[in-house]
Structure formats: structure tokens, C-alpha cells
């Protein structure tokens, strides 16, 4: 009860303040920096502030697998809205997101997402989604930035869901390694359907990058199954039917 009271009286106002300040600075920087690199640094600062304000105790494993100068497609399980700040704060690589196209229609947010280099995706239109994936792969390949994808498509509720094939397709199309990420603990910090951010431990495990340069696009389903196996290992989940 006391933790929830503190969350509403102290944590929530501070998070709103940090978000407003960092969001405004990021938006202003995005006006002058179309590469999105400076806004990304502000987003990393915001994420670290958010985790610190909330009292999240983070443990990161596997950073040695990454080259800060490299380009990757990161693919993670998805438990909570806190997953993105957790990854932002602790992955020392420039990366962008695939964001729902509807968000781009929201004043302030939409222009910021566009200027910062994030990529709109139309989930309800398969053909449009495929064009988006091809464009995202081109951006990764030509600009040398990474992408963060949640292959489950939405937040899971306790069990690792089946993976959509976009992350594997992107990595093969861009010719960059596919990096499995495993997240634990965030579902207790900010549960699905709740607005109360609670203190607690969270773990981010970074798996070994899976090379894709030797793969052809028709192998993306096999790569998706392999990716899910790796993420399942990172979080201690059961294997998928896809890999049977």
C-alpha cells in the first residue's frame, strides 16, 4: 500500500516531469538533426532517469557480445511498457523502433517520431507492412543504425508468445546480425493495464548475435524459430512448437 502511495505521490509526477523535459529537448533537437542520433541520446537519458526515479534495479548480462559501432536487429520478448526504457538505457548502440502508423497522426509525437528516424508500420495491411520492412532494412544497411523489434507483436502475459517473422526478414534483408534479448521482471514493475510504476529488479540478457549474411530471404521462417529458441533460453521459457 505504501509503495503504491509513493508511486502516485512521488514517482508519477517525477516521471511526467522528466518525460516532458526530455521530450521537449528531443523534439527541438530532432528539428535540426534528421539523423536522429541526438534525439536518441536524449531518449537514453530519459530512460535512465525513468528507471532511477522508479527505483528499478537493473542487471545487464551479455554486453560483451555487442560492438557499439555495429548495426543489428534486436529482438526481445515483451512483458511491459517498461521494456523499451530498459533496452534504451542499457544498450550502447544507436537504434530505432518500428512504431504504429497511427502514432504519427498524434500532434507533437508524430512529428518527433518522424524526425527522429523511427519507422511507421501499418500492421493491418500485409503488403504495406512488407514495404515498410524493406524500407527499414534499407535504412539499417545504408545508415548503419540498428532496429529494436518485439516479435511477439504485443505484450505477453506470463508465457512467451509465438514470434512474427518481421525481425528475421529485416535482419536477412539488411545483412546484419540478429540479436536475441531476454527481459525479466518488468511485468511486476509496470503490469499490463496499470499506470502504477513500482520499484523492483529487472534483468536484460543479451544473447550472442546470429549472423545472417549467408542466409537468403526464404530462410526467414527457420531463422524466426531459431530466434525464439534463443530468447526462450535467455528467459528460461519452454521451447516453441515452431522449433520442434
**How far is Cα 234 from Cα 209, in angstroms, rounded to an integer?**
13
Residue 244 has pLDDT above 50, yes or no: no
Residue 101 has pLDDT above 60, yes or no: yes
Tens digit of each residue's pLDDT (9 = 90 or more) over 221-240: 999 999 999 999 999 964 44
Residue with cell 536475441: 180
Please say whether the beta carbons of 18 and 46 come within 8 A. Answer: yes
Angle, helices 166-174 vs 126-143, to 10°: value is: 40
Q: What confidence score (pLDDT) does residue 108 get?
A: 64
Query: Is this model's pTM higher than 0.95 or not?
Result: no
Residue 111 has which C-alpha cell? 512529428
Q: Which domains does the chain have, with CATH numbers?
A: 2-243 (3.40.1130)
**How far is Cα 107 from Cα 42, in angstroms, rounded to an integer?**
20
Residue 154 has which C-alpha cell? 504485443
- In the predicted model, what is the mean pLDDT of residues 153-176? 90
Tens digit of each residue's pLDDT (9 = 90 or more) over 16-41: 999 999 989 998 898 888 788 999 99
Q: What percent of the chain shows pLDDT beyond 90?
A: 64
Mean pLDDT score across all residues of the chain: 89
Q: What confidence score (pLDDT) does residue 240 get?
A: 45
Residue 215 has pLDDT above 90, yes or no: yes
Q: What confidence score (pLDDT) does residue 107 get?
A: 66
Residue with cell 523511427: 118
Pairing of strands 178-184, 200-206: antiparallel
Tens digit of each residue's pLDDT (9 = 90 or more) over 180-193: 999 999 999 999 88
Q: What percent of the chain shows pLDDT beyond 70?
A: 93
Q: Please state, as a whole number, how many other Cβ atoms lie within 10 Å of the Cβ of residue 212.
A: 21
Residue 121 has pLDDT above 70, yes or no: yes
Q: What confidence score (pLDDT) does residue 30 get?
A: 85
Q: What DSSP string describes 5-50?
A: HHIIIIIHHHHHHHHHHHHHHHHHHHHH-TT-HHHHHHHHHHHHHH
Tell me which residue of 226, 165, 183, 190 sits closest to 76, measured CA to CA: 183
Q: Of residues 104 and 195, which shows the higher confidence score?
A: 195
Report, in angstroms and rounded to the nearest whole number, the Rg of the chain calculated over CA atoms: 18
**How far is Cα 122 from Cα 120, in angstroms, rounded to an integer?**
7
Angle, helices 12-32 vs 37-54, to 10°: value is: 170
Q: What confidence score (pLDDT) does residue 115 get?
A: 74
Amino acid at each position: 500500500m505504501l509503495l503504491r502511495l509513493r508511486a502516485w505521490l512521488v514517482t508519477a509526477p517525477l516521471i511526467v516531469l522528466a518525460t516532458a523535459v526530455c521530450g521537449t529537448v528531443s523534439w527541438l533537437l530532432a528539428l535540426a538533426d534528421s539523423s536522429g542520433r541526438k534525439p536518441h541520446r536524449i531518449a537514453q537519458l530519459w530512460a535512465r532517469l525513468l528507471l532511477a526515479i522508479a527505483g528499478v534495479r537493473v542487471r545487464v548480462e551479455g554486453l560483451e557480445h555487442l560492438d557499439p559501432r555495429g548495426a543489428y536487429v534486436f529482438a526481445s520478448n515483451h512483458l511491459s511498457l517498461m521494456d523499451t526504457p530498459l533496452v534504451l538505457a542499457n544498450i550502447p548502440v544507436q537504434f530505432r523502433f518500428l512504431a504504429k502508423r497511427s502514432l504519427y497522426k498524434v500532434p507533437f509525437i508524430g512529428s518527433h517520431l518522424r524526425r527522429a528516424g523511427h519507422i511507421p508500420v501499418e500492421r493491418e495491411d500485409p503488403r504495406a507492412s512488407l514495404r515498410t520492412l524493406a524500407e527499414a532494412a534499407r535504412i539499417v544497411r545504408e545508415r548503419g543504425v540498428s532496429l529494436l523489434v518485439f516479435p511477439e507483436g504485443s505484450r505477453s502475459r506470463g508465457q512467451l508468445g509465438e514470434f512474427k517473422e518481421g525481425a528475421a526478414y529485416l535482419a536477412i534483408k539488411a545483412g546484419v546480425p540478429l540479436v536475441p534479448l531476454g527481459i525479466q521482471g518488468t511485468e511486476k514493475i509496470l503490469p499490463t493495464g496499470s499506470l502504477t510504476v513500482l520499484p523492483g529488479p529487472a534483468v536484460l540478457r543479451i544473447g550472442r548475435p546470429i549472423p545472417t549474411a549467408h542466409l537468403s530471404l526464404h530462410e526467414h521462417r527457420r531463422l524466426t524459430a531459431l530466434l525464439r529458441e534463443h530468447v526462450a533460453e535467455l528467459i528460461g521459457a519452454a521451447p516453441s512448437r515452431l522449433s520442434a
